[in-house]
Structure 1
Amino acid sequence: MLQGKTRASGPRGSLGGALRRLRGNRRGSAIAMMAAGLIPAIAALGSAIDAGRIYIVKSQLQTGVDAAALAGARAFSVSGTASNSRESQVAAYFSGNFPDTYMGVTNLKVAPAFTVIKDINTTTVVATATLPMSFMRLFGFMQQPVRATARAAINPHPLEVMMVLDNTGSLKANLPRDSNGVVKTRITALKDAAKSFNEILFQGGDTRKDLAMGYVMYDITVNVGKLLTDWRSSSVRQMFGFNDVVANTYGGTWPSNKLGWKGCVFGDDTVKDLTATLTYRDPNAWDIDRTLPGEGAHPPVKPYFIPPMYVPQMPGNAVATGAKANPSSAYYSVANVEPNNNLYKLHPSYYDQMLNLDFYGNQFANNPYREAFYDAYIDLNDNAAKADNDVIVRADNGGFYDPSSNPWNFTTRTGTQFRVRYDRIPQFNNWKDATEYTVNPLGGSVDDGARNKTEFPSPNWQCPEAATKVDYGRSRSFYDDVIDRQNAAIYPANGTLHHAGLLWGYRLLVRDDVFKRTPPRGQEEPKRALVFMTDGETALGTSQNGYDDRTWTFYGNYADSPISSSRGGLIGQSERRFAKTCAALQAEDNAPKVYIVALTTTDRNTLAMFEQCAPGHVYQTSDTATLKAAFDDIASELVDLHLVQ
């Protein structure tokens, strides 16, 4: 019985033991377990990879429609198939950000829509695509649809913009090579950026009835004189033979009369050493606010005039004894420096009248030539025995003029009167016929100071082209032409005075009671902006071969210390006038918003001055791309271009 029970129980014990042994034996079971566990792991990994691909495609698709919507909004006014149309711009900007085969997508579709709702121009771009799956195909997920939408809006409103553009010679310098390997000069990049600015303001079209623009080009002066005299003839003082009836009668007006006035002006009457308090208007400082020359107690301005002048070959710190008394010396030869020679000939038939006729009977008070000739040649008068080469002689008898005996005082207009002998000028072979002095529109198109110069000599040397007053009804092509043909680097030259450009940009913009414009009827008060562009700090070439009386500025001759108690204080006082002018602008009703684009400008004091004038709106740019981006950003803000979805 015992054996039978054992047999009976033997097989059951044998099976249970086998099972127990099987459970306890772990050899080879890990492979099966891993295989079973890899299935969900692979699914999770594949899902993560494909989810990442979906995210990347979705993000890039959104970038594409955002760029396309903004581009379409900028070109809203132009429809059709032309390259500048809103449809073409949407397609170009979308494909530039999302190529057709990006990440292997298929069925890519882009649908723009352009609508006007309550006077708001709206561009909507919807893009859809199908993204094939990679790992998730193993689990039956073959593809994933992706969609992105962007909506950009522009809210048109009356807009008045004054562009103040630096035209100094430094703009001929090259900028760094751009992303396409192209090298552009600063002025070329400025022209391109300014025209892109116009394109955004005009929303790609050529007309916009509620937009008014103006331009002021500047270097050491500005050309606003004809705008002033069109308003009030007495706003600019008359200079004999330059901008008066004599000039008009005997020579005609500029440009046919190359010795006539082109239209630039010197700064307003002012006082030296203005106080530092920006909101304080120093008495008799007429060069820091909105009032205009000839208005009320504001004195008229002088027409900008540069007399015949040159830089001597003999260095100013090494003038030999007796050199100035010797007409053959190197003192009367011309140095090879920039600028060197602005010696222009007077009219061959009228030079004696220009120099010696007291036409107005006021002791030559408004004769632009006599003081310059006296200062240039009085040192020849060293000895009565050698008077035959003297340029300055007695007015009464033509004899020896003794500068040590009661000489003429140009301030009090008293003393011994003199006559200028034009026929005795030493080394007259250095003198040249005056040029027309229209700015060369190609100035600065190449980085070469010997090419595309605005040739002188001229009484209008360094005078930019005429300012364009702010007005409605002009086409975009009109403004593009101003940028291309009237805005250029001017050289040879010797300085940059930001105050001149800002002051007159401010006045031409806010004084719409004088410089009249008519906004469209039934619209709100216009938004106003002043966009100021420069490539450097306030600067002057103050010493020409050791002579500081050969430098002319907005304020007069540098050697006369016209706005500061010392010659070296001119730069600081000019910048103080810039700051005070900007403070006056900021205090205006409906004050214009100021934007400053500083190209390659690194001077800390200059940048601080700019930031004080345009808080939060100073664009430091260094190359073609950042310059264009700055102008585009300003234009987008002015037209209120923004994404709403």
Structure 2
Amino acid sequence: MSGFWESDRGGLAIAFAVVLPVLVASVGASVDFAQIYLVRERLSGALDAAALAAAASTSDPDAIEARVSEFFDANYPEDRIGLTYDLEVSVTDNEVHVSAAADYSTVFLRIVGVDTVTVRRETTVQRETMGLEVVLVLDNTGSMRTGGKIAALRAASRNFVDVLFDSAEDPEHVKIGLVPYADTVNIGSYGLGFTPDGEVYDGGQPFVVLPEGWQWDPGSAQYTISRQKWMGCVIAYNEDGWQRDFFDNDPYPYDTIDHEGPWEPYLYEELRRRDGQIEVDDSHPNAHCTPLQVLPLTSDQDKLTRIINSMAPGGGTVGNYGMVWGYRLISPEFPFTEGADWDDHTWKKIVVMMTDGENSVGFYNAYWLSNHNSIRVQQLDERFLEVCENMKEAGIQIYTITFSADAEGARDLYRDCASSPDFYYHAPSQRDLIDVFEEIARSLSNLHISR
């Protein structure tokens, strides 16, 4: 009987020795499978991050491939589980396709002859340019005439426009507006031809808006005034007797007797009345008027290029004028209604604001020179930031650019205006300005991951 039990124990030992590797492999396989899943997720995450970063940075295939490698290595370093190999990048007009594989060395599955498991993952980023509304608010002040600055701005702006239209499958998905500004903004026919209550006037003919109970009796004084056509420039409205703009007033609010309207003329010298007519020494209601009118949002690339090429420097710097009219251009509300509705999320609203200097006050703007110019400049800066905050609250994405050494004092102000510090750029040189505009243009794309 004892022999039988000894024989039985020997058989169980043999059976256990045979089954043990299988049991160990089965239990250990769960550990290996968990590690394989971890490799799979880390690999996918690294590919997604690399493809997104590369696709958003440039459209150059070689640069995209280098960017993919840089971000992939940062997110999946060699000391992570799994040895990566065979990273591949494919770039087309609208897609960036990235694939990679990782070998995981097993711990327990090797017992049953499985030494390594290869994990392969891939991802595709679609470079989709959705509806883009972009307003360029561009410094056309007198300081831009030196050192080839205005030529650099023209080149940078043209390239910006070309990049956006070249990246769009349909040019109707891109609308760009222009606000050339100095110490005035020229709103053109929009100021002369429209009123908020819907009345439309012929801006090419003299007209007068009569108060109730008045009648029109043509006279030489009105004739003298109406011969001077307003060019369309506006400045800020001020209280307490300060200078007023034309846009906030009724069109030509003159009566038929007095030769003076309630606007403050933009003069260096005095007005003199002779024989019932107005004579102005070297100045008039269009003095220092920025000659180039704003261009409302448009998909006409050729027209944009023509206007950009027409930019000419002159006047001082009042950035809040430019910014507030950039706000109005991109808004769907009066007086410019080309913008998409605020709640239309298929369109992005972007304003790019550029300056080569600090805000200033002078004989010709709403603030004038005084013994307290530093206080007045501070007030301009505060108004500028207030406009920026209102725009950001409305969902407008703001990029800001300071250009050249003359703009050093404006850097903090423009950084605060931007939607984030990453959206602020300083361009010390002409070449830098062109590169900054191009970088912003190439970043304005809506990216979507698809597998």
- Both proteins in one fold, TM over 0.5: yes
2:403 to 593, 599, 604: 599
- Name the CA shift for 1:601/1:539 in 2 (closer, same or farther; >3 Å): farther
CA distance in 1 between counterparts of 2:429 and 2:123 reads 30
1:612 to 416, 420, 427: 416
Q: What is residue 309 of structure 2 aligned with on the other side?
A: 484
CA distance in 2 between counterparts of 1:625 and 1:363 reads 51
Q: What is residue 131 of structure 2 aligned with on the other side?
A: 158
CA distance in 1 between counterparts of 2:303 and 2:169 reads 9
Q: Deviations over 1:162-191 (max 9, x none)?
A: 1100001211222xxxxxxxxxx1111111
CA distance in 1 between counterparts of 2:331 and 2:240 reads 24
Deviation, 1:623, is 1.3
CA distance in 2 between counterparts of 1:301 and 1:600 reads 40
- Name the CA shift for 1:641/1:631 in 2 (closer, same or farther; >3 Å): farther
Q: Does 1:264 align with 2:233?
A: yes
Query: What secondary structure sits across from 1:539 in the alignment?
Result: coil
Does structure 2 retain, via aligned residues, the 8 Å contact 1:499–1:574? yes
Deviation, 1:192, is 1.4
- Name the CA shift for 1:534/1:300 in 2 (closer, same or farther; >3 Å): same
Q: What is residue 193 of structure 1 aligned with on the other side?
A: 156
2:293 to 463, 466, 484: 466
CA distance in 2 between counterparts of 1:301 and 1:536 reads 34
2:364 to 552, 555, 564: 552
Query: What secondary structure sits across from 2:349 in the alignment?
Result: strand
Q: How does 1:84-483 map to 2 (within 5 A)?
A: 114=92, 121-123=94-96, 153-174=126-147, 185-203=148-166, 208-232=171-195, 244=207, 259-270=228-239, 299-300=248-249, 360-362=256-258, 364-366=260-262, 376=270, 459-471=286-298, 474-483=299-308
1:535 to 356, 367, 370: 356
Deviation, 1:496, is 0.9
Deviation, 1:124, is 5.7
CA distance in 2 between counterparts of 1:571 and 1:302 reads 30
Query: What secondary structure sits across from 2:304 in the alignment?
Result: helix
Deviation, 1:151, is 7.3
Query: What secondary structure sits across from 1:536 in the alignment?
Result: coil
Deviation, 1:234, is 7.8
CA distance in 2 between counterparts of 1:597 and 1:631 reads 9
Q: Letter of the aligned partner of 2:177 in structure 1?
A: G
Q: What is residue 5 of structure 2 aligned with on the other side?
A: none
Work out the percentage of aligned pairs sharing the same amino acid.
Answer: 21
- Structure with the higher helix share, 1 or 2: 2
Q: Deviations over 1:225-254 (max 9, x none)?
A: 522443317899x9xx9975589x96999x
Aligned residues: 338
The alignment's TM-score, normalised by the length of structure 2, stands at: 0.59
Q: Letter of the aligned partner of 1:230 in structure 2?
A: G
Does structure 2 retain, via aligned residues, the 8 Å contact 1:226–1:263? yes
CA distance in 1 between counterparts of 2:312 and 2:278 reads 39
Q: Letter of the aligned partner of 1:217 in structure 2?
A: P
Query: What secondary structure sits across from 2:171 in the alignment?
Result: coil
Structure 1: tracts of 5 or more residues without a match: 1-65, 75-88, 95-109, 116-120, 127-148, 175-184, 274-285, 288-292, 304-357, 378-390, 396-418, 426-430, 433-455, 543-550
Q: Deviations over 1:404-434 (max 9, x none)?
A: xxxxxxxxxxxxxxx6796xx9xxxxx78xx
CA distance in 1 between counterparts of 2:241 and 2:270 reads 26
Query: What secondary structure sits across from 1:232 in the alignment?
Result: coil
Query: What secondary structure sits across from 1:496 in the alignment?
Result: coil
Deviation, 1:594, is 0.6
- Name the CA shift for 1:167/1:151 in 2 (closer, same or farther; >3 Å): farther
Query: What secondary structure sits across from 1:538 in the alignment?
Result: coil
CA distance in 2 between counterparts of 1:231 and 1:168 reads 28
1:585 to 381, 384, 391: 391
Does structure 2 retain, via aligned residues, the 8 Å contact 1:216–1:505? yes
Q: Deviations over 1:5-44 (max 9, x none)?
A: xxxxxxxxxxxxxxxxxxxxxxxxxxxxxxxxxxxxxxxx
Q: Letter of the aligned partner of 1:627 in structure 2?
A: L
CA distance in 1 between counterparts of 2:410 and 2:58 reads 36
Q: Letter of the aligned partner of 1:598 in structure 2?
A: T
Deviation, 1:610, is 1.2
Does structure 1 retain, via aligned residues, the 8 Å contact 2:129–2:445? yes
- Name the CA shift for 1:242/1:261 in 2 (closer, same or farther; >3 Å): farther
Q: Deviations over 1:246-275 (max 9, x none)?
A: 89x96999xxx7x421111121245799xx
Query: What secondary structure sits across from 1:488 in the alignment?
Result: coil
Q: Letter of the aligned partner of 1:576 in structure 2?
A: E
Does structure 1 retain, via aligned residues, the 8 Å contact 2:233–2:286? no
CA distance in 2 between counterparts of 1:601 and 1:626 reads 12
Does structure 1 retain, via aligned residues, the 8 Å contact 2:403–2:426? yes
- Name the CA shift for 1:458/1:517 in 2 (closer, same or farther; >3 Å): closer
CA distance in 1 between counterparts of 2:125 and 2:153 reads 27
CA distance in 2 between counterparts of 1:420 and 1:633 reads 55
The alignment's TM-score, normalised by the length of structure 1, stands at: 0.43
Deviation, 1:122, is 1.2
After superposition, the CA RMSD in angstroms is 5.0
Query: What secondary structure sits across from 1:217 in the alignment?
Result: strand
CA distance in 1 between counterparts of 2:278 and 2:130 reads 63
Q: Deviations over 1:452-489 (max 9, x none)?
A: xxxx9983434231111124xx232222222112x222
Does structure 2 retain, via aligned residues, the 8 Å contact 1:158–1:519? no
Structure 2: tracts of 5 or more residues without a match: 1-50, 66-87, 100-121, 209-217
Query: What secondary structure sits across from 2:438 in the alignment?
Result: helix
Does structure 2 retain, via aligned residues, the 8 Å contact 1:235–1:301? no
Q: Letter of the aligned partner of 2:313 in structure 1?
A: A
Q: Deviations over 1:515-545 (max 9, x none)?
A: 223769xx843111110011111124x4xxx
